């Protein structure tokens, strides 16, 4: 009897959940979303890969930077290390949280060090 009363009481209330994706949610300040890498600022030193707890970042020193979003914990350690220890600010966490993909290969980003023009 208690269950029926509770159900009837909630029939006339508005839903508690949001109609996502039709209604976009309010994104809180400081959300740690996708990692964005600026290949022009990066010196490809590999410090971010060393401090990444999940091994989502792999750097071939001086050549390539590889990021696997499927392994990322979104902990922001790579951003902090690049900003405060290396002082290059080549990695930032953007407020993008919609990462659904059908193919795992689309979650991997590879950047090669740009060649300097003479």
Partners of residue 59 on adjacent β-strands: 65
pLDDT value, residue 105 = 92
Greater model confidence, 34 or 118: 34
- Cβ atoms within 10 Å of 55's Cβ, excluding its own: 10
Q: pLDDT tens across 81-108, in order?
A: 999 999 999 999 998 888 888 999 999 9
Give the tokens for residue 2. Answer: 């208690």
Overall CATH class of domain 28-112 = alpha beta
Relative to beta strand 64-68, strand 108-112 is antiparallel
Other CB atoms within 10 A of residue 109 CB:
15
Mean predicted confidence (pLDDT) in 12-16: 81
pLDDT tens per residue, range 15-72: 778 888 888 888 888 888 899 999 999 999 999 999 999 999 999 998 999 999 999 9
Rounded to whole angstroms, the Cα distance separating 94 from 30 reads 9
| pLDDT, position 19 | 85
φ/ψ (deg, to 5) at 78? -65, -40
Question: What is the 8-class DSSP label of residue 104?
Answer: G
Helix or strand run (H / E) with residue 82: none
Domain boundaries, the chain: 28-112
- Global pTM reads 0.78
Q: Residue 118: its pLDDT value, please?
A: 58
């Amino acid at each position: 009897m208690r269950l029926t009363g509770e159900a009837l009481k909630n029939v006339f209330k508005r839903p508690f959940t949001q109609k996502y994706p039709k209604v976009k949610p309010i994104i809180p300040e400081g959300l740690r979303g996708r990692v964005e890498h600026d290949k022009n600022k990066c010196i490809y030193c590999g410090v971010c890969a060393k401090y990444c707890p999940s091994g989502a970042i792999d750097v071939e020193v001086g050549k390539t930077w590889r990021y696997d979003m499927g392994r990322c914990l979104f902990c922001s350690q790579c951003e902090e290390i690049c900003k405060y220890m290396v002082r290059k600010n080549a990695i930032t966490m953007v407020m993008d949280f919609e990462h659904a993909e059908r193919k795992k290969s689309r979650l991997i980003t590879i950047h090669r060090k740009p060649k300097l023009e003479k």
